[in-house]
Structure formats: C-alpha cells, structure tokens
Structure 1
Amino acid sequence: MRAFRTLALLPLTLLMLLATPAVADGLFQVEVIVFRQAGEPVPASQPAPDDWAQGAPSIDLGSERGTALNSEAAKLTAANGYQVLLHKAWSQSLSGSPSRVALSSGGEQFGHFPVEGTLSLRLARFIDVEADLWVNQFDASGLLQGSERLKQDSRLKSGELTYLDHGSLGLLIRVKPL
C-alpha cells in the first residue's frame, strides 16, 4: 500500500518540480545605493575594524557597469531628508555558493574609506544577500573616530528593487540577470 501511495504522488512531485521557476548560475548585474536617512546618525558600538573587507575582493574595473537606478537615486535628496553615500553597479557571477565583494567609496584614510563593507550574494530559488556596510567619520587628522553600521540579511527576487532599512542608513539593491 505504501508503494502505491508513493507511485501515486510521483506525477504530482514531478509537476511541482517543473512548475518551480529555476534560476541558473550565471552573470548578474548588481546595483546598490547606500544612503543616510533624516535624523540623528545611529553610531555602531565600535568603529569599523581594520579588516573590514575580510578578504573579499574589490570590484574590478572590468566588471563595473553604468548605473540604472539613477531616477531612484535622484529622489534621495537633502530636500527629501536623504543623502546618497554610495551608488555603484557591477557584473558578478552568482551560483549556489556565496560570492562576496568588497565595496568602498570616497578617499582612503589609513586603510578606511568613508563608506566600506562587503556584500555577499548566493543564488538559489531566490537571491540571498548579506550586507555588512560601515559609514565612517574621521577626525581632522584622518583617523577613524566613529562608524555607523548597516548589517542585514535578506532574500531578493531577481530583477526586483529591494529596500533594506537599518537605523539611520538605508540600502536599495537590485540584482538582475545579464
């Protein structure tokens, strides 16, 4: 009787597998906008560590792409209570294994940037993202005096713009196949 039930469920199982949209490994365009929201900055309990990239490779010049979320970035103005801190787009290969990149913006001061951090992406039925970004403040001599941190995980739909909110910082991200 058990074998009969298993055989009866086989066509239903196959139908569900065929109906599930599969996302294949491949090349994707990743675009992020990091911005500060109105209000007081929410400082992290400690400043960004010296090894903020944790061995993640930087985005190489050959993979940088033109930004497409320019109209969204244009709405994040001081008049609306926002300040864009980083806006980048690049191509990145994604698979079932996490793929991390180091992001930075602004001039380097003693190994730190005004905006720095890592973004890890993993491709499954959805796209899993882990963002760990630091917004740093420097004193007059260029030494790191304090940081804000946006650390958040989320699940994205391919091609869909997603907003991650964290204290006084926000992140818009879109990952779409090329």
Structure 2
Amino acid sequence: MIHRRLWPVPLAQKREYGVLQDFQTRWLAPMALAMALFSIAGSAAAADKYRAELVLFERLGATDNIAEQMQTRRPETPRDITRNLWTVGPGGQVSSDLNLVSRNNLYLSSAANRLESSGRYRVLMATGWVQSFPPDYNGEPMRISLGDVIDSAGDREVEGYIDIDRVRYLHVTAKLNQWRKARQPEATSDAMDRREAAPAAQDMGNNPYMPGGDDTSGPQGLTSDAHPDRELVTWLHQTRRMRSEEIHYLDSPTLGLLVYFQPLDDQGASQ
C-alpha cells in the first residue's frame, strides 16, 4: 500500500488563511470603517435638513390707528442683497432664487387660511423651501419685496430681508419695512412746524418700532427720505431663536410673521 504524505495540505491551508487574514486587515477593515463614517455623515446631513416655512401677513386697518408721523424718518441703509426669497415683479409675477414649496403643501397652510378667513388679516406671503442648516451655518440675507408699488422708484409696500443662521439653535432675523404713499402735507406756518417737530421726534424715539440708533438720520433724528413720495408706516425688526417643529411669531403694529422649521430625513427632503 502506498501512503500519501498529507502535510502539504495543511500548510497550503495555513498560507491561504494568512492571505485572507492579511486582506481583511489591509482592505476590509478600512473599507468597513469608511462605510460606517459615510453612513454617520449621511445621517448627520439628513438631520441638518429642514423645510423652512414663512407666513407674512398684515393687520387690516391697523395703519389707520397709528399716530406716528414717519415721513421724516427712514430705517438703516439697506444691505447689499444678492439673493431673492420673494420678490414681486412689474406684472405681479413672484420670483425667487429658492425652489419654493407651494402653499398647499405647507404645515402653516391651515394657519394662513385661518388668518384670511377671520377677515382681519391679509396674507402677503405663504411659502417654504428645503435647505440644509448645518451647525455654525452663517446665512446670507434674502430679499423680500411685495405689495403694491408705492413710489416712482418702483418700491413696494413691504421691503426688507430675512436672514437665517444656526449656532446651537436656528436664529431668524427679520428686517421688514412697511411703506405707504406720502400724504400731502397740510399748509402750516413755520412757527407751528417748529413747535410740533420736537415732541413728535421725542415720541418716535421712544417707540420700539420706530427707527433708533441704526438709522441714517440727521439732527434730532430727522432726515429727508431719498424717496419723497413715500413714507414709513412701521417696521418689523426682530431676531428670534427658533426650535424646530414649533410655530414662532414675530410681530409689529401692522405686520406679523409666522416661522416654522420641519426637520427632514432623506425621504422627506426629496418630496
């Protein structure tokens, strides 16, 4: 009987096992780590994605009850804004640099409908968009220009911008100015004008909705407007910290702004 030598088989198995172990150490483990990190990064990116929603509305008749005379005041010089959120063109067509969500698909849609059905408010803008807001996100201002044209320069009733940043929480800055066509001044004597100018300027300076230290005003806070055929009614200038999935309300005597952030996963962000 011929006996075969069996020792080369175990040796080959050991060599094959060594090659597989080396392949696993050199390639499979780093690949698995990379896939895990990629998955974590993808989850973090999805968690940073939101649908931002805004509803801007006006209180009907509120301007009739405002006693402040704003025709000699103006807010701070507008910033250079290159991005449009909601701007109304000459034909009434809305343009935006964002991919806006239709009003019917908003979480705030029912709130906008209730405001209008009450008969006391007029919804000027109801929209939203999907965007990533990672930690330490420093946003850029986005222009809003809507309402009727009120002066020869083509400016509209509501002009300003919205800015969104994120530090630990989301922060929304709204700087919106409401204008109206200038009323014809009544014929008064110079003496009466001087008597009435001082208390009027003092009252406006004490009003939190009126321009303060950041305006480009002249002596006693008064200045001539670059657009003499319009006057400032009031403004909405606020910065507010936001929690997601909560409705936040910013207001002024005539304007109100609802803000809502809905966190999205990859599936929700694609809708």
- Report how far residue 39 of structure 1 moved: 5.7
Residue of structure 1 equivalent to 2:62: 40
Deviation at 1:27? 3.9
* Superposed counterparts of 1:75-90, under 5 Å: 75-77=114-116, 79-90=118-129
SS of the aligned residue for 1:106 comes to strand
Could you list the per-position Cα deviations for residues 76-102 of structure 1 after superposition, in whole angstroms to 9, with x for gaps in the alignment? 137452222222222344242331211
Larger Rg: 2
Residue 66 of structure 1 is matched in structure 2 by: 102
Aligned to 2:51: 29
| Aligned residues between the structures | 155
Q: C-alpha displacement at 1:139, in angstroms? A: 5.3
8 Å CA contact 2:178–2:234 kept in 1: the answer is yes
Is the contact made by 1:122 and 1:129 (CA closer than 8 Å) also made in structure 2?
Answer: yes
**Greater alpha carbon shift after TM alignment, 65-74 vs 83-92:** 83-92
- 1:101 maps to 2:142: yes
Q: Which runs of 5+ in 2 are unaligned?
A: 1-43, 86-95, 184-226, 264-268
1:146 CA displacement: 2.8
Residues 78 and 136 of structure 1, relative CA distance in 2, 3 Å threshold = farther
Query: Does 2:56 correspond to 1:55?
Result: no
Partner of 1:145: 231
Residue of structure 1 in register with 2:250 after alignment: 164
Q: 1:126 aligns with which of 169, 173, 184?
A: 169
Paired residue type of 2:59: Q
Letter in 2 for 1:101: M
TM-score (norm 2): 0.48
2:159 equivalent among 116, 139, 145: 116
Q: TM-score, normalised on structure 1?
A: 0.69
List runs of 5+ in structure 1 lacking aligned partners: 1-21
Aligned to 1:16: none
Farther-moved stretch of structure 1 (145-154 vs 61-70): 61-70
Q: Using the TM superposition, give the Cα deviation of residue 38 of structure 1 relative to its aligned residue in structure 2, in angstroms.
A: 5.5
Structure 1 residues 52 and 118 mapped into 2: Cα distance closer, same or farther (>3 Å)?
same
Structure (1/2) with the larger helix percentage: 2
| Cα-Cα RMSD | 3.2
Q: Distance in 1 between matches of 2:117 and 2:79?
A: 29
